[in-house]
Amino acid sequence: MADSPSDAGTVSYADAVIELRTILDELEHDDVDVDRLAERVARASALIESCRARIESARVDVERVVLDMEDDAGDS
């Protein structure tokens, strides 16, 4: 299934944000199917976790690059 919680890590960050907005729109309207509600909330939770992990990974990468640049500037 393409939108199962377990495959949230395979979706790009941009696509995850788009999907989260879609889920939010569904949940904000009273026409959400109660049988599908738990599934959509679980999917949103998995997407949020995936996005947070990607943001943290990017933060670590940026810090590493900045430190490398500072080290290179100190060697000059």
Q: What is the pLDDT of residues 3-56, one digit of tens each?
A: 777 788 799 999 999 999 999 998 888 777 888 889 999 999 999 999 999 999
Residues 6+ positions from 54 with CB-CB distance below 8 Å: 13
Distance CA 34, CA 14 (A): 27
Residue 76 is predicted with a pLDDT of 65
CB 20 within 8 A of CB 45: no
Model confidence, pTM = 0.79
Which bin fits 6, alpha (ψ -120 to 50), beta or left (φ > 0)?
Answer: alpha
